[in-house]
Chains A and B, each alone.
Chain A
Amino acid sequence: GTRIIYDRKFLLECKNSP
């Protein structure tokens, strides 16, 4: 199946999102 991949930039943006 497909793998759920996140890049570094996206993961760091999630940290700062409310």
Chain B
Amino acid sequence: RFTSVLHDEL
């Protein structure tokens, strides 16, 4: 598993 956090910004 890499990550469960989602980043939608740059």
Verify that A and B bind, or say they do not. no
Q: Which residues of A contact B (CB under 8 A)?
A: none
